[in-house]
Amino acid sequence: MNLDSLLLALSGDVVLAVKNATRFAHFIGLAIGLGAATMLDLMLLRFVGSRRITFHDWQMIDFGARLVSFGLMLLWITGIAFLIQYAFFEPAKLMNEKIWAKLAIVSILTANGMFIHSIVMPRIRAQIGQTLFAGMGRGARNAFVISGAISATSWYAPVALGAFSQLNNTVTAIGILAAYGVALVAMTLAMQVVMRIASRTAPAAPAFAMAHPDYQIRLTYGS
C-alpha cells in the first residue's frame, strides 16, 4: 500500500476519521496523565521518610505535574469532542450512563488538580532541603494523602471504565460512582498506612537543614 492509498483509506469516511483521531488523542492524553501521575506518586513516596527534597527533585516533580495537566487537558478536549460526535451522529450513546459517570470522575480529578497546583505544589517547593512532611501538621499531611488518593483513583478509574465494555448500558452512573467512592476510601486508607509506616521508620528531620547544600538553593529561589 503506497502513501496515496493510505491517505485515501484514512479519509474515505470523514466522520470515522475524525472519531478515530479523537480516540487516538484521548488515549494519548490518558497515557500521559496516568503515567505522569503514577510517576509523581512513586517519586513523592521516597520523601516521606528521611530523604530530603533537592531542587532537582522539585524540578522533576514540577515537570511531572505539568505533564499531568497536559494529559488532563487532552482528556477534556477529546471528551467534549466525543460528546459532540455522539450528539450529531450517535445520540443513542448518550444514554450510556457510564459516559456520565466518567465525566463526573474527570470533573473530580480536575478539581483535585486545581487544589494540587494551588496548595500542594507550593508547599512541596517550600520543602526543598527538607523531607516532604517536615514541619507539617496532621491536617496538612492528611490533605496531601487525600489529594494523592483522589489523583491515583481518578486516573485509573477511566481506564477501568474503558476496559470493561460490559458496563455499557448495564450499570447506572450512581452505581459506578458508588464503586469509585469505595475505591477512593480504600486508596486513602492504604496510603495512610504506607505513610505511617514510612514516617515511623525514618529519623526526624530538622525544620531547616542549614548544613545541607539545598539550603542555599532555598535562599536563592525562595520557599
Cα 131 from Cα 123, distance rounded (Å): 12
Name residue 166's amino acid. Answer: Q
What local confidence, expressed as pLDDT, does residue 210 receive? Answer: 40
- Return the residue matching grid coordinates 499531611: 141
Segments making up each domain of the chain, as ranges: 12-221
- Cα→Cα distances 175→93, 98, 146, Å: 18, 10, 22
Rg (CA), the chain: 21
Q: Which three cell numbers stand for residue 216?
A: 542555599
Q: Which of 102, 72, 73, 70 is nearest to 86 (CA)?
A: 102
Beta partners for residue 62, in sequence order: none
Interatomic CA distance for residues 34 and 9, integer angstroms: 32
Tens-of-pLDDT digits for all 223 residues of the chain?
A: 566 665 555 555 677 888 889 999 999 999 999 999 999 988 888 887 778 899 999 999 999 999 999 999 999 999 999 999 999 988 998 999 999 999 999 999 999 999 999 999 999 999 999 888 888 888 888 888 899 999 999 999 989 998 888 888 899 999 999 999 999 999 999 988 887 776 665 554 444 444 444 444 444 444 4
pLDDT of residue 213: 47
